[in-house]
């Protein structure tokens, strides 16, 4: 395509970073050239990523220009307080009785000394570098994507310097509405600073992107010109075809990804525990498979229950291998934070779950965006955390279908969530 428009993407997460945070703009960058945009990516030279996945590099075009500057992050200081503080890099926290004094102190320091987050020390040097770069290289648009939301502070400063350049602030998760925000032990002044910075981003960005319908609505209420472009799955290759499709030897419920304490579906573990105790057939034929990083305290609790002999903990796998594991499952588990304020969170894994055609069992707030997607695609069932009887009935129904060799249901209306179609939507918005 002749004379493509140039767009600069400012992001912290980029391959070899693993996990869901990197996927969104990796795929947008992959497909933007097909819609008349030439991307350049700006990333830290020496980031501290919680998860590494070298296989994601295959999606990066050899023609892509990537520019880098060094970053200083204080996470090594936090980890001196305790090894559990490594979770902070991924926005995870010990909660309730699992919180030690050191953990509480570390959370307080993280919330009050590093606003909006511990990557804030990259803002000033990045602004200085990019002001010079943008004067020497003409761009029609810039994108900042967070978390970490300090990326948006870079965009805020660049917008002041280049008011005619379009700025897109992409929120993969909300800022002050994210579920762990209330766990940051913020002082009144720190809370006010967070909210003030968030408001400035919403009011100054030309376009604010949200990954869920509810988040876009909430952002508009706060003054943003907000639109929803969800995450998705990547075309035919994400349908994870398996050459020989055989019935699993056990009825397999799989969780793929990171599971932390704030999204721990205790109601499900209790039901599965009861079924194993009550039903000998279920006990012999059931497997709970974890693929990814499961909080040690959750695993310890499960290992102390009747579930212990039914657990298969595969550990972290590359993105492609983890996706293949989805196909060797009968039910796919997804969890969200229980609070109503989290109804707009759509975990990225739902779209790759959808692409498999497998049945999804989901937990979260009653009136959630996830429930809307599952109903629209007929891909599974969404439950609130206090809906124990319905959950038990659903699992037994699916177990009986598996026992009888019945065909797993197929999804419908999922092409709207392909990464290419979502990139087309982004290009139209630009």
Q: What is the pLDDT of residues 354-367, one digit of tens each?
A: 998 899 999 999 98
The DSSP result for 194-251, as a single string, is: HHHHHHHHHHH-SEEEESSHHHHHHHHHTT--EEE----B-TGGGG---SS----SSE
pLDDT tens for 212-237 read: 999 999 999 999 999 999 999 986 44
Residue range 57-62: mean pLDDT, rounded: 94
Output DSSP code: residue 74: T
- Asked whether the predicted pLDDT for residue 91 surpasses 70, the reply is no
Burial of residue 37 (CB within 10 Å: 0-12, 13-18, 19+) is buried
- Asked whether the predicted pLDDT for residue 241 surpasses 70, the reply is no
Please provide the size of the chain in residues: 430
- Asked whether the predicted pLDDT for residue 110 surpasses 80, the reply is no
Q: What confidence category does residue 113 fall into, taking pLDDT thresholds of 50, 70 and 90?
A: confident
Please compute, for residue 84, the number of CA atoms within 13 A of its CA located in the half-sphere on the CB side. 20
Question: What pLDDT was estimated at residue 342?
Answer: 84
- Asked whether the predicted pLDDT for residue 242 surpasses 50, the reply is no
Strand partners, 228: 210
Gap between the Cα atoms of 174 and 320, Å rounded = 27
The structure tokens 């599971």 sit at: 259
Question: What pLDDT was estimated at residue 163?
Answer: 97
- β-strand pairing of 166-171 with 226-228: unpaired
Gap between the Cα atoms of 424 and 401, Å rounded = 39
What pTM was computed for the model? 0.82
Closest Cα partner for 34 from 420, 428, 429, 430? 420
| Residue 75 or 86, more confident | 75
Output DSSP code: residue 137: S
**Contacting residues for 26 by C-beta, under 8 A, at least 6 apart:** 14, 15, 56, 59, 60
């Amino acid at each position: 395509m002749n004379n493509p428009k140039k767009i600069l993407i400012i992001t912290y997460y980029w391959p070899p970073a693993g996990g869901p945070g990197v996927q969104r703009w990796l795929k947008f960058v992959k497909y933007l050239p097909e819609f008349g945009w030439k991307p350049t990516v700006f990333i830290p030279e020496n980031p501290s990523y919680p998860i590494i996945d070298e296989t994601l590099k295959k999606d990066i075009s050899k023609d892509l220009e990537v520019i880098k500057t060094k970053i200083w992050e204080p996470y090594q200081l936090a980890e001196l307080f305790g090894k559990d503080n490594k979770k902070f890099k991924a926005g995870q926290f010990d909660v309730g009785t699992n919180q030690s004094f050191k953990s509480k102190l570390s959370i307080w320091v993280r919330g009050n000394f590093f606003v909006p987050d511990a990557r804030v020390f990259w803002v000033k040097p990045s602004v200085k570098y990019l002001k010079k770069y943008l004067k020497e290289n003409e761009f029609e648009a810039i994108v900042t994507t967070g978390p970490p939301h300090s990326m948006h502070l870079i965009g805020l400063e660049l917008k002041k310097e280049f008011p005619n350049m379009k700025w897109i602030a992409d929120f993969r998760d909300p800022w002050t509405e994210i579920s762990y925000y209330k766990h940051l032990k913020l002082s009144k002044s720190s809370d006010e600073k967070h909210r003030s910075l968030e408001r400035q981003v919403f009011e100054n960005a030309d376009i604010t992107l949200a990954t869920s319908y509810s988040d876009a609505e909430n952002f508009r209420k706060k003054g943003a010109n907000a639109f929803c472009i969800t995450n998705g799955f990547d075309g035919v290759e994400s349908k994870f075809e398996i050459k020989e499709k055989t019935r699993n030897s056990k009825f397999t419920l799989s969780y793929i990804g990171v599971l932390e304490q704030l999204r721990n579906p205790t109601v499900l573990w209790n039901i599965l525990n009861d079924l194993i105790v009550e039903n000998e057939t279920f006990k012999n034929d059931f497997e709970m498979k974890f693929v990814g990083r499961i909080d040690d305290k959750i695993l310890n609790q499960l290992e102390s229950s009747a579930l212990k002999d039914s657990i298969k903990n595969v550990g972290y796998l590359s993105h492609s291998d983890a996706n293949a594991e989805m196909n060797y499952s009968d039910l796919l588990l997804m969890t969200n934070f229980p609070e109503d304020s989290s109804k707009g969170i759509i975990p990225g894994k739902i779209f790759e779950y959808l692409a498999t055609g497998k049945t999804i069992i989901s937990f979260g707030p009653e009136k959630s965006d996830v429930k809307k997607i599952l109903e629209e695609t007929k891909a599974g069932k969404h439950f609130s955390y206090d809906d124990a009887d319905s959950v038990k009935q659903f699992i037994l129904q699916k177990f009986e279908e598996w026992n009888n060799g019945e065909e797993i249901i197929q999804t419908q209306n999922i092409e709207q969530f392909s990464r290419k179609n979502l990139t087309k939507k982004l290009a139209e918005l630009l």
